[in-house]
Amino acid sequence: MNNFDIRRIDLNLLVVFEVLMKERHVGRAADRLNLSQSAVSHALGRLREQVGDPLFVRHPRGIEPTPRGLVLWEGVSDVLERARTVLAPEQPFSPRRARRFTIGQTDGAAAILVRLIEQLRSDAPNVELYVRRMGAAEVIPAIDRQDVDAAFAVMPPARMPPRIAQLPAHKLNYVCIARNNHPAVRRPPKTPEKFAALNHLAISPYGAPTSRVDQLLADVGIRRNTVLTIPHFLAAPLIVAKTDLVAVIDESTYSLFSGYGNLRTIKMPAALESITIDLLMSSARMQEPAMAWLRGQCLAAAQS
């Protein structure tokens, strides 16, 4: 069988074989296929000749498969199901249909996800969103395994493999925030040293001793006096609003809280470099209707 020439097999013969296996009766199979009984018998004869086995034997209630027929059926049923899946017309994705998407998130994407959730609850209430926090090194393997459908990530400067689509989604611009009656709001620190001496809240999602903001501050000669480190970006404004702490956060996160009236920004003595958040997806899945819809929703949320 290893030397069997697959080109000899007519797919229509396998379809006839499939219906015979399900009906176990030549007459009923013929009716289901809209063929004559002689045409079904002829097709079965051709298939028997090609595989070298009777495939079916007569039975009082119709026909029963031979041992070779049962083995053949195990493979044929899978082949035909895959062929139907591949050849079926692609259905457009409807956001009204129930569907679950999984989004990966590295640090910095909290505000984007808030806007994405707001969009989905308004436009696609039947869509379920599952968010997974992950480090940058976990993103590509998770996309490869289809553990996530897409991910918002700040990726290290390296060449992305062709199988991963990398779409610039959002620029992170940083501001320093404090409660509205903080002394530094009235008299902003004018030197890096005075700014660094303030009581700072730092955000480190994965528990590292230094964060991306620490690196950006170090680039402009600032090593801040950190008195509290937390893992959650969205908790920072709430803590700052009720304490004497200040925090350097991205402008998008601050915008979620700016209407509360108890937070202000402090002018920093030096501007920090902007960081780009990318949307990452499988290149092979990008054009699937559901993935194309998700891509559009993610980019709209990131750029709003």
DSSP labels, 135-179: -HHHHHHHHHTTS-SEEEE---SSPPPTTEEEEEEEEE-EEEEEE
Domain boundary residue among 60, 87, 114? 87
| Residue 159 burial (CB count, 10 A) | 6
List pLDDT tens digits, range 101-120: 999 998 778 899 999 999 99
Claim to verify: residue 253 and residue 297 sit in the same structural domain: no
Between strands 263-266 and 199-203, the pairing is unpaired
Whether 285 is covered by a domain: the verdict is yes
List pLDDT tens digits, range 205-226: 878 888 889 999 999 999 999 9
Whether 92 is covered by a domain: the verdict is no
pLDDT of residue 1: 44
Residues of the chain where predicted confidence (pLDDT) is lower than 50: 1
pLDDT of residue 282: 93
Claim to verify: residue 197 and residue 251 sit in the same structural domain: yes
Q: Which CATH number goes with the domain that contains 76? A: 1.10.10.10
Contact criterion met (CB below 8 Å) for 106 and 245:
no
pLDDT of residue 261: 79
Q: Which CATH number goes with the domain that contains 295? A: 3.40.190.10
How far is Cα 90 from Cα 107, in angstroms, rounded to an integer?
A: 35
Domain boundary residue among 87, 107, 128? 87
The residue range of the domain holding 147 is 99-171+276-303
Residue 144 has phi, psi (to 5 degrees) of -60, -40
Claim to verify: residue 152 and residue 268 sit in the same structural domain: no
Claim to verify: residue 244 and residue 297 sit in the same structural domain: no
Claim to verify: residue 110 and residue 141 sit in the same structural domain: yes
How far is Cα 173 from Cα 152, in angstroms, rounded to an integer?
A: 16
pLDDT of residue 301: 95
How far is Cα 139 from Cα 152, in angstroms, rounded to an integer?
A: 9
Whether 191 is covered by a domain: the verdict is yes
List pLDDT tens digits, range 110-152: 899 999 999 999 999 999 999 999 988 899 999 999 999 999 9
Whether 93 is covered by a domain: the verdict is no
User: Domain count of the chain?
Assistant: 3
Whether 55 is covered by a domain: the verdict is yes
pLDDT of residue 7: 61
pLDDT of residue 138: 92
Element (H, E) at 279: strand 275-282
Provide the whole-model pTM.
0.68
pLDDT of residue 78: 78
Whether 215 is covered by a domain: the verdict is yes
Taking the CA atoms of 70, 73, 75 and 78 in sequence, report the sign of the dihedral they define: negative
Contact criterion met (CB below 8 Å) for 194 and 201:
no
Q: What's the order of all strands across the beta sheet hosting 199-203?
A: 225-230, 199-203, 246-250, 174-179, 263-266
Claim to verify: residue 124 and residue 205 sit in the same structural domain: no
Claim to verify: residue 196 and residue 131 sit in the same structural domain: no
Residue 288 has phi, psi (to 5 degrees) of -60, 140
Contact criterion met (CB below 8 Å) for 279 and 151:
yes
